[in-house]
Amino acid sequence: MLYILIKYLLLPIVGLIMRPIVMGKENLLIRGKAIFVCNHISMWDPVMMAMVSPRYIHFMAKAELFQGWLGNLFFRALFAFPVSRKHSDLGSVRNAMQVLEKGKVFGIFPEGKRTITDDLDDLEKGAAFLAIRSGAPVVPMYIRRDSFKKCRLVMAVGSPIFVGDIIASTPKSKLLDVFTDEISDAIHALQTKVEAR
């Protein structure tokens, strides 16, 4: 309920401030299970993704945000669930898989942390792993780095990447690395497109 209220009452106001420009927004209309992946430049990135997406997005968030009953209640009401950044967290993987098995959208920032440079960091393999395990297509996204400074959200959304296409041409032992590289290449291509605008 809180997510719905924020999405339809608060985010339109944010949209008036940020005046979003979204290239490739037709790619957000994908049906069924999907994994939205995006570069990570600000704590507001999930808000920006939720604002432009016509579908609800379920996110992982660092476990520290869920400490205390208020934080736990608030972030779970926003369709988020905790993940530990200090060690492998199988519970968060199961939560993500459950989201996808229900045909919903899962959002993840594959760099694993916010970046402070203009370059995309090397990607963690979690997004590729979830896509391979679930069969969900991956929708790449990129937010221009100066969006918040200029109060003008500029974002690009790429065509879905279907894991079946990669599986058919890749040895199983290399699949995780190859698919992670495919996601990275897609985000880099969006970066080039956005920065050239």
Residue 36 buriedness (CB in 10 A; 0-12 / 13-18 / 19+): buried
What's the pLDDT tens digit per position in 3-59?
787 788 878 888 898 899 999 999 999 999 999 999 999 888 888 899 999 999 998
DSSP 48-85: HHHHH-SS-EEEEEEGGGG-SHHHHHHHHHTTEEEE-S
Q: What is the 8-class DSSP label of residue 155?
A: E
Tell me the pTM: 0.91
Q: How far apart are CA 140 and CA 160, in angstroms?
A: 7
* Domains in the chain with CATH codes: 2-195 (3.40.1130.10)
What's the pLDDT tens digit per position in 107-166?
999 988 888 777 888 999 999 999 999 999 999 999 998 888 888 999 999 999 999 988
Q: End-to-end CA distance of the chain, in Å?
A: 37
The helix/strand/coil state of 157 is strand
